[in-house]
Amino acid sequence: MPQNLAPIPELYVSYDSAQKLKVEAADLVSWDLSPRQICDLELLMNGGFNPLKGFLSEEDYNSVVENMRLANGTLWPMPITLDVSEDFAAKIELGQDIALRDQEGVILGTMTVTDRWVPNKAKEAEMVFGADDLAHPAVNYLHNTAGKVYLGGPIVGIQQPVHYDFRARRDTPNELRAYFRKVGWRRVVAFQTRNPLHRAHQELTFRAAKEAQANLLIHPVVGMTKPGDVDHFTRVRCYEAVLDKYPQSTTTMSLLPLAMRMAGPREAVWHGLIRKNYGCTHLIVGRDHAGPGKNSAGEDFYGPYDAQELFAKHAEEMGIEMVDFKHMVYVQERAQYEPADEIADKDNVTILNISGTELRRRLQEGLEIPEWFSFPEVVNELRKTKPPRSKQGFTVFFTGFSGSGKSTIANALMVKLMEMGGRPVTLLDGDIVRKNLSSELGFSKEHRDLNIRRIGYVASEITKNGGIAICAPIAPYASTRRAVREDVENFGAFVEVHVATSIEECERRDRKGLYKLAREGKIKEFTGISDPYEVPENPELRVETEGHDVDNCAHQVILKLESMGLIAAH
């Protein structure tokens, strides 16, 4: 297919108009964009989503969901929609302009709202993602993050979202087109990725470029990828290390601020249209391209070659060709990578391969990663970001009645961990937090939840930065404890310890004299007496304090941490 590198339409107005518009837009009703909407808006404005002129109208949305096409018949597989809350939607009149702001309040563009509707999300999930199953990250997003109402309408672009990272590596479609024109690249094969590159990827991209007789664009996604992926900062440092291994004159890299949906076949077609906009003539499409993993029944959402098939069916219409991805494996005797299906002497050679899961395990446990698998520079970067578990941060979260012994055990644990050394330890005891972080709060459900969420926030920050947070509040509500677990588990392990001293024993001990006051009605909403406590169902550890001394209880926690690999066995 002939390459056309003429500039494509963008939605930005001229610099002077933008300055004027920015002042005028300050008076408009504003929508604060979510991180995903910012990614979508950037690609709408810079032409990455050409021919879209804004967030989809209701008619286009229905047509995209049902037929993979805009209402006018143009191929477009992914609904690009502006989801908002019901409250916000109720404030808007059709025909009204709204300002679209980033999370710091900067106005990126305006939209004339032509359409407002309540989508059938179950139908969207079924038709676009193949199943209304929350195990699919985009379906989960659709139901649990996206707003209830969609707004649609044309956009006027004022400015690009601001990026402070890797600026020299970011290009708009027109910037890449201009670059290809300048260096005379007539055929360009794009490699889409959301993972670090290892030797097998390098080999397959080399082969793809050779097969297509094209130059190579490494085009990694740095917008939003699958939850749990290696963060883009680490990945870009890895890509830069690998880029040195490619011949400079034939290969380049550019970062794509796309928010992926992991929609397999539809996503592959979407990726093709986007790469076409970026001036590419070919896209490498892999086995299980943009796959979301397993569904809630433990099966794959899509067939392994569904994406390649759908792409191939529409390649002509898209104006971009597919290079299918070979599954590369290492042949030890020949010390080289070869496509798995082209090895004729399979039975006489040793084939080596390390799966993604195995790689994560090796990183997790600090085990060797062989040179035949990856480049030392890449492994080094990955190890920096993902140190072995015994060097990562974590949170120990004690919960139990007042006077159950949480604080005493937590203190003993803190001292034991400090004796071991290696990581900073912070104790967020119930009383201390109430004094320093939550002094204005009482003991209503709302206030207790607020208190626990604050503790969770601090603990997740400590965990993120490689420290150990020990929390010891009552935390009587299971749902709040779960929310804190989710916050912390974004960054490291969460170890819930139920200090299971019975309410009778706590009252008998009554170390602070509070139970007596609670019984007399002088303290209201007292946990276990006049307020609920939801016993943890599956804590990592339950400790009984009746009949065990503090030292023993703290030791049980230490043993648990050891068995989880969080502290080195001693």
Our CB check for ligand PPS shows the closer of 402 and 463 to be 402
Q: Which of 67, 195, 234, 426 is catalytic?
A: 195
Give CA–CA dist 74/63, Å, rounded.
10
Query: Which of 331, 335, 364, 360 has its CA nearest to residue 346?
Result: 331
Integer Cα distance of 488 and 81 in angstroms: 31
Q: Nearest-5° angle of CA 454, CA 460, CA 464?
A: 150
Provide the total of helices (H) and of strands (E) in the chain, helices listed first.
20, 20
> Please, what is the angle between helix 445-464 and helix 478-489, to 10°?
20
Does the annotation list 182 as a binding residue? Answer: no
Q: For residue 407, say whether it is annotated as part of any ligand binding site.
A: yes
Q: Which residues bind ligand PPS (CB under 6 A)?
A: 402-403, 407, 430-431, 434, 443, 448, 451-452, 473-476, 512, 514, 523, 525-527, 531
Is there a binding annotation on residue 14?
no
Which residue among the candidates 193, 252, 399, 451 is catalytic per the annotation? 193
In whole angstroms, give the CA distance from residue 382 to residue 405: 40
Beta carbon nearer to ligand PPS, 329 or 499 = 499
* Nearer of residues 260 and 413 to ligand PPS, judged by Cβ: 413
Strands (E), 166-274: 188-193, 215-220, 251-253
Question: Is 405 known to sit in a ligand binding site?
Answer: yes
Cβ proximity to ligand PPS, 354 vs 523, nearer residue: 523
Q: Which is nearer to ligand PPS, 128 or 475 (CB)?
A: 475
Q: Minimum CB separation from ligand PPS for residue 521, in Å?
A: 12
Closest approach, Cβ 474 to ligand PPS, in A, equals 4
Q: How far is the CB of 511 from ligand PPS (least distance, A)?
A: 8
Shortest distance (Å) from residue 490 CB to ligand PPS: 22
Q: In the structure encoding, which two tokens stand for residue 86, read together?
A: 């019901």
Closer of 178 and 550 to ligand PPS (Cβ)? 550
Tell me: is residue 180 an annotated ligand-binding position: no
Beta-ladder partners of 374: none
Q: Write phi, then psi, for 259 (nearest 5 degrees).
A: -100, 105
Q: Considering the complex, state which of residue 281 and residue 402 has its C-beta at the smaller distance from ligand PPS.
A: 402
**Strand partners of residue 282:** 189, 321
Find the length of the chain. Answer: 570
Q: Which amino acid is at 195?
A: N
CB of 457 vs ligand PPS, minimal distance in Å = 14
The answer on whether 401 is annotated among ligand-binding residues is yes
Determine whether the annotation assigns residue 286 to a binding site.
no
* Pick 137 or 430: Cβ nearer ligand PPS: 430
Give the helix ranges, DSSP H, for 186-263. Answer: 199-212, 232-243
How far is 17 from 39, CA to CA, in rounded Å? Answer: 23
Cα 56 from chain centroid?
24
Whole-number minimum distance, CB 560 to ligand PPS, in Å?
21
How crowded is residue 73: how many other Cβ atoms within 10 Å of its Cβ? 9
Residue 400 annotated as binding site: yes
Write the secondary structure of 507-570 as one string of H (helix), E (strand) and C (coil): HHHCCCCHHHHHHCCCCCCCECCCECCCCCCCCCEEECCCCCCHHHHHHHHHHHHHHCCCCCCC
**Rounded least distance, CB 515 to ligand PPS, Å:** 10
User: How near is the Cβ of 441 to ligand PPS at its closest, in Å?
Assistant: 7
Which residues are 300's β-sheet partners? 294
CB-neighbour burial class of residue 477 (10 A; exposed 0-12, middle 13-18, buried 19+): middle
Catalytic residue among 194, 266, 389, 423: 194
195 is catalytic: yes
3-state secondary structure of 173: helix
3-state secondary structure 396-434: EEEECCCCCCHHHHHHHHHHHHHHHCCCCEEEEEHHHHH
Which residue in the shown chain puts its C-beta closest to ligand PPS?
Answer: 430
Pairing of strands 149-157, 107-112: antiparallel
The answer to whether residue 194 is catalytic is yes
Residues catalogued as catalytic = 193-195
Could you list the residues known to form a binding site, using ranges: 400-407
Could you list the residues known to form a binding site for ATP, using ranges: 400-407
